[in-house]
């Protein structure tokens, strides 16, 4: 079942959703450069403190996804999407007072607000992408949206660095890290440096307000997701959401995937810094990684399902990810960082592989199951913070051991876990 749109409405709707996924990537992946930037600008003392950036942003998925789903049952997807964009604009505007006071706590609150907005918008976007066209072409639409998301992720760190990190800021960061700037001179220099975030985030807030208005009055259909749809279920509804073990195992697999992917992207600048690379050079690595993810998406569009099934592609990607993770850990730092970048290729298709294996046959529990899968995105928060703890304890390189159990579990889910408790007609 899908919403019937004429050709013009369909393509305008695709354009609007592609723009939404671009926004997701723009505001999410810039965190990879905010981590080392705030470590200097807010004078943080440990890696654990600096990775609170990703924790504050992504923990909102755990806390706010169920409230977001309940809100959308009342507002509908279209109006709810506009509300989410306005909350995102509010979070961007909060960077202004946070920068003026150089308050790390206020920056974290701003990021949590933006994460809350994305929890709403993700809950809006995924059903829209599925419903606006034929079900058999949904995977291709998801891949197209992924390309838009990752393309934004490639340019976000570069744009942020170009707009915010001025030549004098680079000098300030070098002098602070070398211990040359101290006392009142250091505080004054950092106050001046942090104010560089104000103009781009105010412009972003204004653009988001405009987009919220455009989204509200666009050609997208006004859908309400609160109604049950059991007709698409391949099995009789069970007592509770926990009666579907393949879903619960899938939530854990998605948690492991997004968390390990976040580690490979958000930590790579700090890892490069630990080798003696400056921020000006290290800032390129997240874009290289996201470029690999983009290549993986394009390969998926071409190869799946014509040449390889989604499930077999998931097996190949998770095994490849495990091999690269072991190489990251055992190779010398300069060689291991190449493997860290290359992890983007297998990571690209894992999200799209887990989701369709975890969601079928849930009947009236489909909406709640979707919400649980969105909540799994808090893996970005938990595992990046755990990496920060381990980096302080044993060093940036050795802390990448966290990637290995994540990929081992994902291999289990790709091979066997997705079958546990699933009816024969769904296997």
CB neighbourhood size of 142 (10 A)? 20
pLDDT of 72: 79
For residues 366 and 359, give the distance between their C-alpha atoms in angstroms, rounded to a whole number: 7
> How do residues 250-295 score in pLDDT, each as one tens digit?
999 999 999 999 898 888 888 888 888 876 778 788 878 878 888 8
Would you kindly state where each structural domain of the chain is located, as residue ranges? 7-218+244-426
On the CB side of 67, how many CA atoms lie within 13 Å of its CA? 10
pLDDT of 106: 95
Of the two residues 138 and 144, the one the predictor is more confident about is 144
Distance spanning both ends of the chain, measured CA to CA: 21
For residues 264 and 254, give the distance between their C-alpha atoms in angstroms, rounded to a whole number: 15
List the one residue out of 92, 29, 5, 13 whose CA is nearest residue 290. 29
Average pLDDT in the chain: 84
Q: Residue 237 above 70 pLDDT? A: no
Q: What is the mean pLDDT of residues 58-71?
A: 85
Q: Which fold has domain 7-218+244-426?
A: Growth Hormone; Chain: A; (1.20.1250)
For residues 153 and 28, give the distance between their C-alpha atoms in angstroms, rounded to a whole number: 7
pLDDT of 422: 82
Q: Find the DSSP H helices in 165-275.
A: 167-177, 183-194, 198-216, 245-266, 268-274
CB neighbourhood size of 1 (10 A)? 9
> How do residues 65-81 score in pLDDT, each as one tens digit?
888 878 877 888 788 89
Confidence of residue 247 (pLDDT cuts 50, 70, 90): very high
> How do residues 79-119 score in pLDDT, each as one tens digit?
889 999 999 999 999 999 999 999 999 999 999 999 999 98
For residues 327 and 306, give the distance between their C-alpha atoms in angstroms, rounded to a whole number: 31
Q: What is the mean pLDDT of residues 164-173?
A: 79
């Amino acid at each position: 079942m899908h919403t019937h749109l004429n050709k013009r409405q369909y393509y305008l709707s695709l354009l609007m959703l592609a723009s939404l996924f671009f926004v997701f990537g723009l505001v999410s992946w810039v965190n990879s450069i905010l981590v080392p930037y705030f470590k200097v600008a807010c004078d943080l003392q440990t890696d654990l403190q600096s990775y609170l950036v990703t924790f504050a942003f992504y923990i909102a998925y755990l806390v706010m996804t169920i409230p977001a789903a309940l809100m959308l049952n009342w507002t509908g997807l279209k109006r709810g999407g506009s509300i989410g964009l306005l909350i995102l604009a509010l979070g961007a505007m909060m960077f202004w007072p946070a920068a003026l006071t150089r308050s790390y706590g206020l920056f974290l609150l701003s990021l949590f607000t933006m994460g809350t907005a994305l929890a709403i918008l993700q809950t809006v976007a995924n059903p829209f992408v599925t419903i606006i066209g034929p079900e058999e072409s949904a995977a291709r639409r998801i891949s197209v949206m992924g390309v838009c998301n990752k393309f934004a992720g490639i340019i976000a760190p570069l744009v942020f660095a170009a707009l915010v990190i001025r030549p004098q800021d680079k000098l300030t960061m070098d002098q602070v890290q070398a211990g040359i700037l101290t006392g009142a001179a250091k505080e004054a220099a950092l106050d001046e440096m942090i104010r560089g975030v104000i103009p781009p985030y105010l412009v972003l807030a204004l653009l988001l307000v405009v987009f919220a208005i455009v989204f509200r009055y666009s050609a997208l259909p006004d859908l309400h997701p609160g109604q049950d749809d059991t007709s698409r279920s391949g099995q009789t509804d069970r007592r509770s959401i926990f009666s579907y073990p393949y879903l619960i195992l899938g939530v854990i697999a998605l948690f492991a995937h997004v968390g390990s992917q976040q580690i490979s992207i958000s930590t790579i600048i700090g890892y490069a810094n630990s080798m003696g690379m400056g921020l000006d050079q290290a800032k390129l690595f997240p874009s290289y990684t996201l470029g690999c993810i983009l290549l993986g998406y394009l390969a998926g569009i071409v190869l799946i399902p014509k040449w390889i099934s989604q499930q077999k592609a998931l097996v190949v990607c998770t095994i490849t990810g495990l091999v690269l993770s072991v190489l990251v850990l055992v190779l010398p730092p300069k060689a291991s960082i190449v493997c860290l970048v290359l992890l983007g290729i297998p990571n690209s298709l894992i999200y799209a592989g887990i989701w369709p294996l975890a969601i079928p046959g849930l009947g009236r529990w489909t909406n709640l199951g979707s919400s649980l899968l969105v909540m799994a995105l808090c893996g970005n928060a938990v595992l990046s913070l755990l990496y920060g703890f381990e980096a302080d304890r044993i060093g940036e390189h050795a802390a990448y051991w966290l990637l290995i159990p994540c990929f081992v579990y994902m291999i289990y889910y790709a091979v066997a876990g997705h079958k546990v408790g699933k009816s024969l007609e769904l296997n």
